[in-house]
Structure 1
Amino acid sequence: MSSAQQSPEGKAFLPLAIAILTVSDSRKPETDKSGDKVAELASHAGHQIAARQIIADDAETLRAQMRDWIADPAIDVIIATGGTGVTGRDVTPEALAPLISKPIPGFGELFRMLSFQEIGTSTIQSRAEAAICDGTIVFLLPGSTGGVRLGMEAIIIPQLDIRHAPCNLSELLPRIRYEH
């Protein structure tokens, strides 16, 4: 896609600046397949990768990184992968919780519904979620490449495309930012 592509309604594609946060105690840049998948799908959709980090499963460190990106006016969206399970080391939702201005519960509900079609009841172990944090859209995805693919292709990419009808988060971003 290019910024010149337009929807039938005449809206031109609007590339967004995306920060990618991989949450893992073991991944390195050369083994970060889930972060790579987020970057590949976001870039292919026409968005810009503004930042990328791998951080261990530590709530305070994760929160500090998210807080920095939320405060950065050059970042529109944060997509985190990993740390959304139910074990003691899975702390990504807890790290995000104090930063949330407005939750987007429909994201997690829809993600788990779609995930159920692929992995059955194992989807209950996912705490994937999304929120508005002081004018920045934040998505938390599982650490698996399958979970990343599903969340990105089925939900995030369409919602970050201003041409997606009947509505999308991209077109709301200026209002979201103004209100915060």
Structure 2
Amino acid sequence: MTLRWTRGNGHGLAFRPRSRQHRRTALEPGPIGLNPPDRRIRLPPSRSGTRSQRVLWTNRIAPMSPARIGIVTISDRASSGGYADLSGPAIEAWLRQAITSPWSVDYRVIPDGFESVRDTLIDMCDHAGLDLICTTGGTGPAPRDLTPEAMAAVIEKPLPGFGEQMRRISLNEVPTAILSRQEAGVRGKTLIVNLPGKPASIAVCLGAVFPAIPYCLDLIGAGRIETDPQVCVAFRPKGA
């Protein structure tokens, strides 16, 4: 059984754009989803007047399309109703504290297994058009823990630094973090990050890697995310 629902974060309307092209701002050409606060409008030149008269700059702020974030809990027991999922809500709670820009969530609970994880991730990337997907569960050495194997079949560009950093920071908490096989990677214009299964570990890992996520989304042409510096200081080079 797969459980799924979608909702917004209260910062703006949650909607499902027909395609990623609809996120492109009409103000001027640029990468999809990049709408920095200082986005300006250049008016078309007229046939008369000086150059300074023909070009008008204004500080009008372009509207920001809500980023679309997927949360996937991978668990046989949670998907069958054996127990209430705590990991997915823990991810959502952390994101609601950290993200200040508009976003909506696509939340699913699915069983363990290669095909289940692979098919869900492909659907969320290729059909739902999500910008960021955070998974939880299925990254250990148990026979049914096949999230990394499914990730390898889905992503086009692996980003090994995410898994390395999460294992490094988690080892400060528990020695069994060395057993984790968390990965991250990009498929099209979607970033996928595997998080651990325990809510306490989820908060630790998100705090360690999320500062790099907004700029990664910028680079792949996904939706723009702004963060609360009291929770997470997102790193972007000057001018990005």
TM-score by length of structure 2 reads 0.60
Change (3 A) 1:86 1:77: same
Q: Which residue of 2 aligns with 1:155?
A: 209
Alignment equivalent of 1:34, drawn from 69, 87, 103 = 87
> What does residue range 12-161 of structure 1 map to in structure 2 within 5 Å?
12=37, 16-27=67-78, 31-46=84-99, 48-72=103-127, 74-119=129-174, 121-156=175-210, 158-161=211-214
Q: What CA distance in whole angstroms lies between the structure 2 residues aligned with 1:40 and 1:49?
A: 13
SS in 2 for 1:27: helix
Moved more, 99-108 or 140-149: 140-149
Q: What CA distance in whole angstroms lies between the structure 2 residues aligned with 1:99 and 1:85?
A: 19
Task: Tell me how far 1:14 sits from its aligned partner.
Answer: 8.1
Task: Tell me how far 1:35 sits from its aligned partner.
Answer: 0.3
Task: Tell me how far 1:127 sits from its aligned partner.
Answer: 0.7
Any runs of at least 4 consecutive aligned residues in structure 1 with deviations exceeding 3 A, and if so which? 11-15
Task: Tell me how far 1:73 sits from its aligned partner.
Answer: 5.8
What CA deviation, in whole Å up to 9, does each residue of 1:45-77 have, x standing for no partner? Answer: 236243111111121121111000110364101
Structure 1 unmatched ranges of 5 or more: 4-10, 162-167, 176-180
Which structure has greater helix proportion? 1
Q: What CA distance in whole angstroms lies between the structure 2 residues aligned with 1:50 and 1:146?
A: 21
Name the amino acid aligned to 1:16: A
Task: Tell me how far 1:147 sits from its aligned partner.
Answer: 2.0
Name the amino acid aligned to 2:216: L
RMSD across aligned positions (CA): 2.4
Task: Tell me how far 1:15 sits from its aligned partner.
Answer: 5.4
Name the amino acid aligned to 1:76: D
Residues 68, 131 of structure 2: 8 Å contact kept: yes
What CA deviation, in whole Å up to 9, does each residue of 1:130-180 have, x standing for no partner? Answer: 101122100011111122111212212x2234xxxxxx31321318xxxxx
Residues 50, 75 of structure 1: 8 Å contact kept: no
Change (3 A) 1:44 1:74: farther
Counting matched residue pairs gives 160
TM-score by length of structure 1 reads 0.79
Task: Tell me how far 1:113 sits from its aligned partner.
Answer: 0.8
* Greater Rg over alpha carbons, structure: 2
Q: What CA distance in whole angstroms lies between the structure 2 residues aligned with 1:154 and 1:82?
A: 18
Identity among equivalent positions (%) equals: 33
Task: Tell me how far 1:129 sits from its aligned partner.
Answer: 1.2
Q: What CA distance in whole angstroms lies between the structure 2 residues aligned with 1:42 and 1:35?
A: 11
